[in-house]
Every structure is written in C-alpha cells, then in structure tokens.
Copies of this chain bind each other. A is one copy, B any other.
Amino acid sequence: MNASRRIGIINVTGYAGVELARLLYQHPEVELTSVTGRSAAGQKLGTVFPHLASIDLTIEAELGEIDLAFSAMPHQESAKEVIPLLKRGIKVVDISADFRLKDAAEYAAWYGFAHPAPHLLEQAVFGLPELYRSQIASAQLVANPGCYPTGAILALAPAVKAGLIEPDIIIDSKSGISGAGRTLSLSSHYSEANEDVTAYALDGHRHLPEITQELKRLRPQPPPSITFVPHLIPMTRGILTTAYATLSPGKVARGDRGQEALMKLYRDFYRDKPFVRVMATSPHTKHTWGNNLCLIHPTIDRSGEKLIVISAIDNLVKGAAGQAIQNMNLMLGLPETMGLQALAVYP
C-alpha cells in the first residue's frame, strides 16, 4: 500500500458515505483507513452496516491521518470540516454543495448561509470529469456535483456546447428515494413513498443554480434559461432525466440524417469518457444499478423541432460516491476507472 493513499470519509453514516466505503473496498490502490460519523462514533462500521462487515474499521468522531478525504457532511457543515483539512494540505473531494457554485452570493440565495470561504470557490474544481478532467487532476479541492446536475449536465452538454438548441430548456427528473438520504422524513417513509409519485421543489430546487452555472460555462451567450422539476418515484436508486429544448433553426437536418448527426455529435463529445455511454435506445436506470455509468440517449421528436435527451444514472454512484472516486482517481494520478469497473447489478 502506497503511504500517500490513505483515505478518509467524513460522515460515513449517510447513503453517500456508506456507498463510498463499499466502492473503496473494491479499489486496488487506495485504502480506507478512517471514517467518522458523530451519531455512531465508537461503533464498528460492520455493526451499523452489516454489508460492510468485511471492512475492519471503527467509526470515529475525528478523522485520523489521511492523504485524501471525502466529505459526505450536509451543506454548510461540510465546509467547516473541509477548510481545516485543506490548510493541512490534504486533498478533498466534497460531496456536499459547499464548493460547487462559483458565486458566493448564490449560497445566501439558495442555501441561506453566508459562505465561510468565498476565495475557495474559485479554487475548487467542479468535479464532473467529463468536463474538467485535467483541472481535477491537479486540484486540491474538488466539489462533487449534485446527483440531478450530473444527469442533467451530461445529457445537455454536447447540445449546449454545439449551440444546437435554443436557451430555453426543460429538465424533468425522476429520482429514487435514496436521493433524499438516510435521515428520516415523512416523504421517505415507506408507506408514503411506495406506490406514489410526486413533483417537488416547484419553487426552485437547489440543484438549479448548479445546472445553470455549468451549462452557461459551456455556452455563455445567450445564457440558458432552465426550468427544472424533480420528482420522487418509488424505487431506491436511480435518476432518469428527460431534457427538452427547441432545436435552433438550421442546425440539425430532418429525419434520419439529423438523428445520425446528433448521435455523432454526442459520441464525439463523449469519446474517451469511459463512464458515459451514448445509446441508440431509451435507457433504463436499472442498467446502471450500483455502477458508475451515465447512459444517454439523444433524439429528435416526431415534429423534428425538439431535442429530447434522456439520461440514466445511479444517483448514489455516478450521482455521488462513484463520481467522487472517479475524481479521487484523477487527483491521485490513478487510472480514471480504477475500482469502478463492476457491472450494474441486473435485474
């Protein structure tokens, strides 16, 4: 074991934290050596999470000596944990939203707190390796994207960058319940969530500024105008995103030729991106279960005037822990796919 690859997880007891532990166990070149979790401090990891019993660690109140840390704390609390680590020179992948937005004012507007270290926002790299691979490789602080933004940005990036569509974009996402976390709530209560579907956050979800920021970086003018509605559906894992936009006039041919050109654009954009698969058919979240892939199907609707792009991810893997490990791999100079090759568990 290379001494520079001791890994820690802050707040291992949420679903993102526990998924990090699962995936790191399979990683051949790093070692998970320290995990924290206030409510469960002092307990064996395998006692709280029996599926992790093969990992012989005790949950601590504070991280031990590590070389890279994942923070799976909630927003606002995460920054408090991350800032001291950065000062000690430790690399950090922050799963929370605390360093994703470039404009500190957005934290006041969307999260209701004054950002404690605005200077770090510019330094932090937005951890979507399909867009920022080289910057991530040299970063000390990577802000792991939100689950919805991962699916939405990957679905739209090629079209936005190429100027294929008008700026008015509708993003309709359907998420499994694990996206709401392990903290108890009525909306995650089994009998309420089972056999139900609902839209939520109609007055604006916190992932909206993140999506807007990144699509705007891909094509600043005219700036995108995003309508984003998330939905909860009765399954544990997975996000399917359906994105709609009007094709800009003259950009895409009618009929099969247009569809072919669209597929080529997407395939070229994601060439050498090992975790994006551009598909000729509509993807199922089931085919990403437990796996770091993002499946994307771009298409043109019957009228020939609308772009529709569907993306599917596992919200806890490509939408959280898997992407965080992909980022870690890049930060540590390891192959991007290391430890992430296990196939999806189907059916």
**Which A residues contact B (CB, under 8 angstroms)?**
15, 18, 22, 25-26, 49-54, 168, 170, 172, 174, 176-178, 182, 184-186, 188-200, 202-204, 208, 225, 227, 229, 231, 233-238, 240, 242, 244, 246, 277, 279, 282-291, 295, 297, 299, 301-303, 305-306, 308, 310, 312, 341-347
Chain B residue numbers with a CB within 8 Å of A237 are 195, 347
Chain B residue numbers with a CB within 8 Å of A301 are 202, 204, 227
Q: Give the residue name and chain of the B residue nearest to A15 (CB).
A: B347
Chain B residue numbers with a CB within 8 Å of A225 are 303, 305
CB distance from A32 to the nearest CB of B (A): 12
| Cβ–Cβ contact B51 & A192, under 8 A | no
Chain B residue numbers with a CB within 8 Å of A193 are 190
Query: What is the bound-complex CA distance between A202 and B306, given in angstroms?
Result: 11
Q: Return the contact of A196 from the options B235, B290, B342 (Cβ within 8 A).
A: B235
Query: What is the bound-complex CA distance between A52 and B286, given in angstroms?
Result: 12
Q: Return the contact of A177 from the options B176, B191, B240 (Cβ within 8 A).
A: B191
| Cβ–Cβ contact A197 & B170, under 8 A | no
Chain B residue numbers with a CB within 8 Å of A49 are 346
CB distance from A61 to the nearest CB of B (A): 21
Q: Give the residue name and chain of the B residue nearest to A185 (CB).
A: B184
| Cβ–Cβ contact B235 & A234, under 8 A | yes
| Cβ–Cβ contact B204 & A53, under 8 A | no
Chain B residue numbers with a CB within 8 Å of A174 are 174, 197, 231, 233
Q: Which 7 A-B pairs have the closest CB atoms?
A: A196-B286, A191-B347, A51-B344, A184-B184, A290-B345, A204-B302, A177-B190
Q: Return the contact of A197 from the options B184, B285, B347 (Cβ within 8 A).
A: B285
Chain B residue numbers with a CB within 8 Å of A186 are 184
| Cβ–Cβ contact A310 & B182, under 8 A | no
| Cβ–Cβ contact B197 & A238, under 8 A | yes
Q: Return the contact of A190 from the options B190, B246, B297 (Cβ within 8 A).
A: B190
| Cβ–Cβ contact A308 & B195, under 8 A | no
| Cβ–Cβ contact B189 & A182, under 8 A | yes
Q: Return the contact of A194 from the options B190, B192, B208, B282 (Cβ within 8 A).
A: B190
Q: Give the residue name and chain of the B residue nearest to A193 (CB).
A: B190
CB distance from A159 to the nearest CB of B (A): 15
| Cβ–Cβ contact A282 & B196, under 8 A | no
Chain B residue numbers with a CB within 8 Å of A18 are 346
Query: What is the bound-complex CA distance between A286 and B193, given in angstroms?
Result: 9
Chain B residue numbers with a CB within 8 Å of A303 are 225, 227
| Cβ–Cβ contact B285 & A244, under 8 A | no
Q: Return the contact of A233 from the options B191, B233, B236 (Cβ within 8 A).
A: B233
Q: Give the residue name and chain of the B residue nearest to A238 (CB).
A: B197
Query: What is the bound-complex CA distance between A178 and B345, given in angstroms?
Result: 13
| Cβ–Cβ contact A308 & B229, under 8 A | yes
Query: What is the bound-complex CA distance between A193 and B50, given in angstroms?
Result: 15
Chain B residue numbers with a CB within 8 Å of A50 are 279, 283-284, 287, 295
| Cβ–Cβ contact A190 & B236, under 8 A | yes
Chain B residue numbers with a CB within 8 Å of A342 are 26, 342
